[in-house]
Amino acid sequence: MIDIIVSPAVAEEKLRFQENAPKYFKVSTYSKEGIQASLPLAEMRQTTGFNQEIASDAFKGMKRLVNWYLEKSSLSAMAG
């Protein structure tokens, strides 16, 4: 999994994560004060060594998480 974490997170931020995350993201609490959105991916620590396809998928997933977060943040700023 790869994660994007906000900690500490105010109640409004937690609600935005829970309401706006795509269905394929897993949203959960992080520590006592935070929230995280996770995207499932294949294991990066391969016993057979570096796998370019898995690494590529991981970077695409990171980009997807960051773009979602930035889009969600800009929409929140426009509404507030």
Q: Look at residue 75 and tell me whether its pLDDT is greater than 70.
A: no
Q: What are the two backbone dihedrals, phi and then psi, of residue 57, each rounded to the nearest 5 degrees?
A: -60, -40
pTM metric for this prediction: 0.74
Q: Look at residue 78 and tell me whether its pLDDT is greater than 60.
A: no
CB 27 within 8 A of CB 4: no
pLDDT at position 60, please? 93
Instruction: Give the whole-angstrom CA distance, residue 7 versus residue 9.
Output: 5
Instruction: Give the whole-angstrom CA distance, residue 12 versus residue 80.
Output: 11
Q: Would you say how long the chain is, in residues?
A: 80
The 10s digit of each residue's pLDDT in 26-70 is: 999 999 899 999 998 877 676 777 888 888 988 999 999 999 999
Instruction: Read off the tokens for 22.
Output: 């795509």
